[in-house]
Amino acid sequence: MGPEVVKLKTNYETLEQFKRFLENGLEELSMLEDLQGNLIEDNVQSPFYGVYEDGKLVARMSLYPMAIEYDHYFNPPTNYLELWKLEVLAGYKGRGFGSKLVRFAQSFGNPVKTNVRCGAHEFFTKLGFQPVKYDPMRDRGENPYVWIPEGSHIKLI
């Protein structure tokens, strides 16, 4: 079983934990600015999820619900989840934390979209994601991959 995925609290303790991910050398994946923004806005609906081991945040992601009216990926249009900033701390990779977070996103039963960078294509393909045909106007330099629940009538555009 192992540790569970939890919704991260938007507070300074979480902010301190995020600094470890910064030290990991992946500034572009940092949620620090997002979290600071949320603290300023006092946003109680944190989009951040993570896995703790022995009190230490070892993996995290953000998950944004995307409303059907903003969907440009699926036919028919649908509500889906946008997965961002997935990162597992150095020393904790290869132990199932990354796939645990992705499976958590999939457990809501809606399609999931992410922007795959950093050579993680194989990781996402193993979890049932597929690349989307690049549309420069829509994707604007992203490398979108999507997951559609098994047995769903939803197709890619």
* Sites of contact with ligand COA (CB under 6 A): 26, 29, 86-88, 93-99, 116-120, 122-123, 126
Between residues 69 and 122, which has the closer beta carbon with respect to ligand COA? 122
**What would the DSSP string read from start to end of 17-66?**
HHHHHHHTT-GGG--HHHHHHHHHHT-SS--EEEEEETTEEEEEEEEEEE
Least separation in angstroms between CB 66 and ligand COA: 18
Least separation in angstroms between CB 48 and ligand COA: 15
Between residues 86 and 132, which has the closer beta carbon with respect to ligand COA? 86
Between residues 30 and 78, which has the closer beta carbon with respect to ligand COA? 30
Our CA angle for 86, 51, 62, nearest 5°, is: 35
Least separation in angstroms between CB 93 and ligand COA: 3
With b for 16 or more beta-carbon neighbours within 10 A and e for fewer, the 84-94 pattern comes to bbbbbbeeeee
